[in-house]
Amino acid sequence: MTRQNRVTFIAVLLIVFFCAGQVLAAPIEIHWWHAMRGARGEVVDNIVKVFNDSQTEFKVIATCKGEYDEVVNAGIAALRAKKQPHILQAFEVGTQTMMLSGAIYPVYQLMKDKGYNIDWSTYLQPVLSYYMDADGNLMSMPFNSSTPVMYYNVTLFEKAGIPLLSKTDPVTWDEMGEITAKLIKSGVAGGMVTAWQSWTQVENYSAMHNLEFASKSNGYEGLDCELKINNEKQINHIARLKSWMDDKRFFYGGQKYQGPKSEFIAQNAGIYIDSISGIANLKKSIKDFKWDIAPLPVESWMKEPQNSIIGGASLWVFKGYKDKDYEGVAAFMNHLARTDMQILWHKETGYFPITINAYEQLKADGYYEEFPYQEVGVKQLTRRNPTKISRGLRLGYFIQIRNIINEELELVWNGSKTPKQAMDDAAARSNVKLREFEKTYKQ
C-alpha cells in the first residue's frame, strides 16, 4: 500500500468511526415530572411520543409523580439532593414560591438563549400573565390551564322542567337557589356540589365580583400583603351555601374533585362546579344521561361580571444542567406550543389552547359549533379585561393557605364554626404564613 493509499484508508476509517459514533450515540434524556393521570396522562404520553419520534437527538421521559402537591414536594426534595428533573409541572398556587426559589431558568430567557424568537403576544394573555414577573417576563410555560365552570345534568333538568342554561350569560346565585330547589322537589338527592372549594367558591368568586382576595393587588405588588376574604360579601356567600345544606340544595362532596365528580356521575347532584378540564373524564365516564356546561353563577348586583381566573399548572425549568440539555428542553417547549399539539390537548382534555393561533384554528374549523360547551371556559375567562384584582393571585405559601381555607370551610359545613368566624380565622391563619414567607424571601 502506497503512502497516499494509507492516508486515504485512515481517513475513510475515521469518517466511518465518526459516523458510527453519531448513529450509535444515545439521545440526551430530558426528564419531565408531572401530575397528569388517567385520560389526561394518556394525552401527555401521546404528545411526548410525537416529539420523541420527530428527532433522534433528545428523548423526553415523562413521569407522573402523583397529585399536584406531591409533584411539587418531589421536585423540592430532588432539588435539595441535586437530582432535580429538567422540567417540573407545578400548579398555579406554587407560582410565587417557584418564582422566588432561585432554582429556575426562566422560560423567556431559555427560549431566547436557544434561538426561538417567540411573539408572546400571540398567547392567551389571561393565561400568560399569571406566570409573568413584575417586568412582564414569562417565568414558566403555561401548560394545563383551565377555569371553573358549571356542569349540569340535562336529563334531570328536563325532568324537573328547568330550562337549559345559556353558555354565555351566567345565572344569578338567586336563580341557582330556585333551580336547585326544583331539582330537589323533582326527586334528585342533591342540588349542587363543588370541587376545589377554595378555588371555585372563594378565589374565583372574589375575582368575578372584583373583590380583593388579598391586599397589594392580590399580592402582585408586595410580599407584605394580607388576606381579605373575610369581607361581608364573601361571608354572605358561604352563609348561603351553608343554609342550602339544610334542604340539600348544596352538599359537601370533598375538597378536591374525586368526591364531587362521583356524586354528579351517580346523579346524586344535578349541578357540579369544577374545572373545564373535567370534560375529558366526564366524556369517558357518563353514558346514561345528557350533560352540558354553563358559566359560573354571579350575584344579581354584579351587572358586569369580571373574568374568572385560571387554575391548572405550568412547566418550570430547573437550573443545573449542561447547555446541550437545554437545547432539548427548549425544543420540547416549542413542540408543546405547536398549533396541532395545542388543538389535540384542548380537544382531548378540555384545557385551554394557550396560543391564539390554535384557538382561531379551532373556530375556523367549526369545532365550537359542533362542541359549543368546550368554549364556555374560554369565553368566561376572556369576557372582560382583567383588573388588578381579577388577573390572578400571587401569594407565598399559597399551597398551605389554600389548605387553611379548605379546613375552615369544612368547619362551616359540619357546623363547628359560623361563616364569619371561619373566614376571620382563615384570614388570620393565612396571614401568619404570609409573614413567614415575607421574612424568608424579602430582599
pLDDT confidence of residue 213: 98
Strand order in the sheet with 190-194: 190-194, 269-275, 148-153, 291-294
Across the range 74-79, mean pLDDT stands at 93
First vs last Cα of the chain: how many Å apart?
73
pLDDT of residue 281: 84
Tell me the pLDDT tens digit for each residue of 17-40. Answer: 555 555 558 999 999 999 998 888
Q: What is the pLDDT of residue 13?
A: 56
Q: What is the reported pLDDT for 14?
A: 57
pLDDT recorded at residue 93: 87
Quick: pLDDT tens for 281-332.
898 899 999 999 999 999 999 999 999 999 989 999 999 999 999 999 999 9
Task: List beta partners, residue 58.
Answer: 28
Q: What is the pLDDT of residues 178-203, one digit of tens each?
A: 999 999 999 999 999 999 999 999 99
> Using an 8 Å Cβ cutoff, are 223 and 397 in contact?
no
Whether residue 16 has pLDDT greater than 60: no
Q: What was the pLDDT predicted at 22?
A: 52
What is the rounded average pLDDT of the residues 429-439? 97
The pLDDT score that the predictor gives to residue 21 is 53
pLDDT at residue 137, as a whole number: 92
Is residue 362's pLDDT more than 60?
yes
CA nearest 322: which of 34, 45, 54, 58?
Answer: 58
Asked if the model's pLDDT at residue 341 lies above 90, the reply is yes
**pLDDT reading at 15 higher than 70:** no
CA–CA gap between residue 227 and residue 428 (Å, rounded) = 8
Mean pLDDT throughout 369-375? 95
Q: What pLDDT does 39 receive? A: 82
pLDDT at 280: 81
pLDDT-derived band at 135, boundaries 50, 70, 90:
confident
The pLDDT value given to residue 307: 94
16 or 368, higher pLDDT: 368
H helix or E strand, kind and range, residue 348:
helix 339-349
Return the number of other C-beta atoms located less than 10 Å from residue 372's C-beta: 14
User: Which long-range contacts does 409-415 make (Cβ < 8 Å, 24+ apart)?
Assistant: 409/197, 409/198, 409/201, 409/202, 409/238, 410/252, 410/255, 412/238, 412/242, 413/242, 413/245, 413/252
> In the predicted model, is pLDDT for residue 11 greater than 70?
no
Does position 99 have pLDDT exceeding 80, yes or no?
yes
C-alpha cell at 53: 419520534
The DSSP result for 149-169, as a single string, is EEEEEHHHHHHHTPPPPPSSS
Mean pLDDT of the chain: 93
In this predicted structure, the answer to whether residue 353 has a pLDDT above a threshold of 60 is yes
Confidence of residue 130 (pLDDT cuts 50, 70, 90): confident
The grid cell for 394 is: 400571587
* Residue 130 backbone dihedrals phi, psi, to 5 degrees: -65, -30
